[in-house]
Amino acid sequence: MELLGLHHVSILTGKAEKNYDFYTKVLGMRLVKKTVNQDNTESYHLFYADAEGTPGTEITFFDIPHLGQTYRGTSDISTVSLRVRTLDSLLFWKERFKQFGVQHDDIQKRANRDSLAFIDFEGTSLILVADNDEKGVRAGIPWEKDDIPLEHAIIGLGPVTLTVANAEPTIRILTEVMGFRLAGSYHCHVGHYREILIYTTGEGGSGAEVHIETRPDLPRARLGRGGVHHVAFRVPNEEEYDQWAERLKEYRIPNSGKVERYYFKALYFREPNGILFELSTDTPGFATDEPMETMGEKLALPSFLEPKRKEIEEKLRPLILN
């Protein structure tokens, strides 16, 4: 039993239309699924990914209009990374960010990788990381967009950073329960705090890493728009998914129990610092109810919600994505 890497991250947005414009028109990602939050069907859930909605390339958003702002701190998924191919790609993106007025830093090394930090319009902290032929979890398939060369397109999720007041409890869950291993550390770019620790799983590489930043000086984070709701990790199939459910039970870790999300199966639990983790299957995927060529163009509902489509559509606010 081994987690393959990152599956997806889910973030909160207060403005789905502007969110769509940023992630598809500025970042060039594909909207692979327009659906609803299955726990609150009056709210949209948007999934952006590579050309085929490959597990490990997905960044998703729950749409909650009028949501308050996020207050950064501990017990927080503080940054999300997106993979590109090379340092030349980062140079392309730096110029593109200037063109679109996206706030960004200079290119610098993080975990011995070339990287470019930036924030979206709601303050989500994001980092582009260059693969530069690094071995590890395979990248996704770039989505073709006229003004973004394929060789510079976003090709998947990179490391997520967890900011915590005390790292030890989180590390125990990652290593003793989830099978992650320590792969190194790097200097924190803010202040004189401890090194940021790198934990990896599966084949390794940027698509399989969790970085842990210890910041006892910060207050606890408060989640709002632009904040990361949870991070999910890849389980290859349903057989191992069942084994993970048993493993959480054996360790007496409070969890959601098995949850059918239709496009994947999920298990949710909070690690000791309160950050929400999810274990998600790679199968069956987003093309299970839509042709690959037209994914994301219409409101998709899992089969168990389809009988309620009329009622759901009547309660959803109009969402015009151009």
**Where does the pLDDT of residue 184 fall: very low under 50, low under 70, confident under 90, or very high at 90 and above?**
very high
* 33: in domain: yes
In CATH, what number is assigned to the domain containing residue 86? 3.10.180.10
Q: What is the pTM of this model?
A: 0.95
* 125: in domain: yes
- Distance, CA of 74 to CA of 162 (rounded, Å): 8
Look at residue 67 and tell me whether its pLDDT is greater than 80: yes
Look at residue 188 and tell me whether its pLDDT is greater than 90: no
* 322: in domain: no
Task: Say if CB 17 and CB 121 are below 8 A apart.
Answer: no
* 190: in domain: yes
Instruction: Please give the pLDDT value at position 187.
Output: 87
Averaged confidence pLDDT in the chain: 95
Instruction: Please give the pLDDT value at position 23.
Output: 98
* 253: in domain: yes
**Where does the pLDDT of residue 192 fall: very low under 50, low under 70, confident under 90, or very high at 90 and above?**
low
* 173: in domain: yes
Portion of the chain with pLDDT greater than 90, in percent: 94
Look at residue 132 and tell me whether its pLDDT is greater than 90: yes
Q: Domain of residue 82: give its range.
A: 6-315
**Angle at the Cα of 253 from the Cα atoms of 250 and 259, rounded to 5 degrees:** 95
Look at residue 320 and tell me whether its pLDDT is greater than 90: no
Q: How many structural domains are present in the chain?
A: 1
Look at residue 191 and tell me whether its pLDDT is greater than 90: no
* 320: in domain: no
- Which residues does 300 contact at the CB level (< 8 Å), separation at least 6? 33, 34, 35, 289, 290
* 321: in domain: no
